[in-house]
Amino acid sequence: MSRVVLVLVETVNDYLPLLEREGFVLILAPTAASRAEAIASHGQRIDAVLTRGPLGLTGEEMAALPLLKIICVIGAGYEQVDLQAASNRGITVTNGAGANASSVADHAMALLLSLVRGIPQADAGIRRGEWNKLRLPSLAGKRMGILGLGAVGQAIAKRAANGFDMSISYHNRQPLPGTTHTWCASATELAGAVDFLIVATPGGGSTRHLVNGPVLDALGPHGYVINISRGSVIDTDALIAALASGRIAGAGLDVFDHEPQVPDALKTLGNVVMTPHMGGQSPEAAQGTVQMVVNNLVAYFSGQPVLTPVSLPASL
């Protein structure tokens, strides 16, 4: 019997044939309206859901899917998936940790280079007929701090250390075994020790506003922050205030609190470089994330352990 997968994501359509080749039947529902309609019309036959962190899956939606056995999340984050509801139902949850790490790490470095070297401003000036040679910092030999040394954080560290001779410090809940990078006990301690603070930790309640006013103050007026994780990790109001007052030098942002809405205050600041949550959007990353979903689904439905399980709370 063919397994039915409800696909809520909207950015990997070119690679969905990877699922169909394995015999999965797909129901595409990339908008809020089509999602509600698909659950109402086809909920009785859906075995699996493919989603991403910000799209998630609610407990109420799970209740409307009586055959649901597994939720596969594209990307590392799963902040809007109701893990408690999944645990209560015995539903397996997987994520795509590491599948798009190279693409996200490349984008983090691109944001950092663009921000520190003033690339958008220089480009805009030339287009206006100007020839302003700005004296801006070099990246070589600087100190990088990475908040969240997972697969993405490690890929960023590799690029920074090997490509730009940077020293690397990081903050995780606990020191990471086997790394030579310097562990800091808090986000504030990390920010105070570096020139560039890269936010690469997962989103969700446990990391909400982990980068706040005191952390930004510790980073200081010559420090830059790059966020390629989730908008919720940085206190946006505190960030805007720090940028506007010169308490930090600049910010590179690929993620925001209420995407696709972006605060107007950020748009008016000259020391910000922004992109529309595209860090993980490359052909290689899209294929890799879908292949990870395929591997997890095939493993699950053949009675094998899934490759990238998400830890669930105890059932209630």
Q: In this predicted structure, what is the pLDDT of residue 299?
A: 97
What's the predicted TM-score (pTM) here? Answer: 0.87
Domain boundaries, the chain: 4-97+283-301, 101-274
Please tell me the class of the 101-274 domain.
alpha beta
pLDDT, one tens digit per residue, over 242-283 is: 999 999 999 999 999 998 899 999 999 999 999 999 998 888
The answer to whether the 4-97+283-301 and 101-274 domains have the same CATH topology is: yes
Q: In this predicted structure, what is the pLDDT of residue 75?
A: 81
Would residue 230 show up in a list of annotated catalytic residues for this protein? yes
Which residues of the chain form beta strands (DSSP E)?
A: 4-7, 25-28, 48-52, 70-74, 92-94, 143-147, 167-171, 182-183, 196-199, 224-227, 250-253, 272-274
Q: In this predicted structure, what is the pLDDT of residue 100?
A: 87
Q: In this predicted structure, what is the pLDDT of residue 316?
A: 86
CATH superfamily assigned to domain 4-97+283-301: NAD(P)-binding Rossmann-like Domain (3.40.50.720)
pLDDT, one tens digit per residue, over 69-109 is: 999 999 888 889 999 999 999 999 999 888 889 999 999 99
Would residue 60 show up in a list of annotated catalytic residues for this protein? no
Confidence of residue 218 (pLDDT cuts 50, 70, 90): very high
Would residue 79 show up in a list of annotated catalytic residues for this protein? no
Alpha helices in 118-246 (DSSP H): 119-127, 151-164, 187-192, 213-219, 236-245
- Among 10, 130, 259, 284, the active-site one is 259
- Among 3, 35, 52, 230, the active-site one is 230
Burial class (CB in 10 A: 0-12, 13-18, 19+), 273: buried
Residues with Cβ within 8 Å of residue 86, at least 6 apart in sequence = 57, 62, 71, 92, 93, 312
